[in-house]
Amino acid sequence: MSHHMTPCILVVALGASVHTQRWLQMVASPRHRLVLLSSTPLQPNLPALAALPTIRSREDLDRLPPGMAGQWARDPLDEQPADDDLPPPVFLSARAALVRSASVEHAVRVLQPVLVHSMEIQMAGYACLKAAQAMGTDFPLWLVSNWGSDLYLYEKLDTHRPVLQALAARVDALHCECARDVAMAQQLGSREGCPTHVQPASGGVDFADMPLPGTPPSQRNLIVIKGYHGWSGRALHILSALLIAAPHLQRFQVRIALAGPEVAEMAAEVARVTGLDIQPDTWQADHGPALDRTAQARLVVGVGISDGIGTSSLEAMALGAFPIAADTGCLCEWIRPGIDGLIVDPHDVAALADAIVTAATDDALVDAAYRRNRQEVEKRWDARTNGARALRMYDDVIARGCA
């Protein structure tokens, strides 16, 4: 295939997300060239993505070696009024900071991609839907990745359900993290024969870079909490559970990843009342320290009202920490609840406290899950295996479109 003929795939995704970075690395192949259009153009891309060659024209694209990714240049259209007829994600009051459908249209007309891949629905997918509606048959084949809560939470919201129904009816293929969401897309009215693929949206990791620590969880004295509290996360509920569980946790350090101000404030109060060593971890752009922390943890707790598989749970499984998650996510598709991890109602603080005490005190339970969970993620979250599957997914979608 000549250089000029190497097909282009336009990936519309969060440029500030490590999931996007991992995915683009995973699907790099000489069979195509990838161009990233950030769905949050006012935010800087992650350093590794910001270093990609900037693409402004078809000539720039043709100079991009096959197998290489580029980044679409900041578009003057990003300064135009937002697509205000589209509902914003629940954590934003308006779509002003998000990519415009006009920017997607412009990139499609210039690059002539064989495939548009929206990674995440409310920011990337909605803008692509509006562009597809405006361009009609000029819009290329379209693959949408459902991240986390994109269907599970938003289909419950009256402003979002009609947009999701329109998207389900229009998209050419759907990539979901969870089998749960495939059924949900069908309920929303996805087209007959619309191919669906299930694998983690975060792609995968290189397990050679993530050795299983030699210390089994029973010998670790650290509890890691996912500190989000807001539109989905319920870290304040976890802190409430620590109040109840405190008598059983005196030997532990508790560290809170990504704690917001109100979570940090409550953590200080729980520490004062219980005498527990509870501290927020500072945010770091490098994900390495977070993984090191997980490798030292006996258990990792993250609950919210809506989630997909939850990367923190997969990282816990990979590094031998015992996962506790909510029944509003898909960890149940990866573990046997009660054996390899514990799954609780995010609103049931007493049950959450019981789960934390069980994982903190039952050495046999956490040690039995240690290697078994590692084997499961090695089988299903490996970058090489999932990269090959993702490339087959691209080929499958493109082939169906050309048939």
Q: Which residues contact 255 (CB under 8 A, 6 or more apart)?
A: 222, 223, 224, 225, 278, 279, 280, 281, 293
Question: What is the three-class DSSP state of 397?
Answer: helix
pLDDT at 402: 58
DSSP state of 248: G
pLDDT at residue number 368: 98
pLDDT in tens, the chain (403 residues): 445 679 999 999 999 998 899 899 999 999 999 999 999 999 999 999 999 999 999 999 999 988 899 999 987 877 788 899 999 999 999 999 999 999 999 999 999 999 999 999 999 999 999 999 999 999 999 999 999 889 999 999 999 999 999 999 999 999 999 999 999 999 999 887 788 889 998 888 899 999 999 999 999 999 999 998 988 899 999 999 999 999 999 999 999 998 999 999 999 999 999 999 999 987 666 778 889 999 999 999 999 998 889 889 999 999 999 999 999 999 999 999 999 999 999 999 999 999 999 999 999 999 999 999 999 999 999 999 999 999 999 999 998 875 4
d(CA 289, CA 34) in angstroms, rounded, equals 30
Residue bearing tokens 């899950």: 369
Phi and psi of 114, rounded to 5°?
-80, -20
Neighbours of 62 (CB within 10 A): 14
Instruction: Say how far residue 345 (Cα) sits from the centre of its chain.
Output: 21
Domain ranges of the chain: 3-204+382-402, 207-380
pLDDT of residue 80: 83
By the 8 A CB rule, do 241 and 356 touch?
A: yes
Q: Residue count of the chain, please give it.
A: 403
Burial state string for 176-208 with b = 16 or more CB within 10 A and e = fewer than 16 = bbbebbbebbeebebeeebebbbbbbbbbbebe
Given its phi and psi angles, is residue 267 left (phi above 0), alpha (psi -120 to 50 degrees) or beta? Answer: alpha
- Tell me how far apart the alpha carbons of residues 358 and 338 are, in angstroms, rounded to a whole number: 10
Element (DSSP H or E) covering residue 299: strand 299-302
Alpha carbon 150 to chain centroid distance? Answer: 10
Assign domain 3-204+382-402 to its CATH architecture: 3-Layer(aba) Sandwich (3.40)
- The answer to whether 349 and 241 are in contact (CB under 8 A) is yes
Closest residue by Cα to residue 5 from 47, 80, 49, 58: 58
pLDDT of residue 383: 92
Q: What is the pLDDT of residue 194?
A: 80
Give yes or no on whether 3-204+382-402 and 207-380 have one common fold.
yes
- Structure tokens, 144: 């949408």
- Burial tier of 333 (Cβ tally within 10 Å: 0-12, 13-18, 19+): middle
* 343 membership: H or E segment, kind and range: strand 342-344
Give me the architecture of the 207-380 domain, per CATH.
3-Layer(aba) Sandwich (3.40)
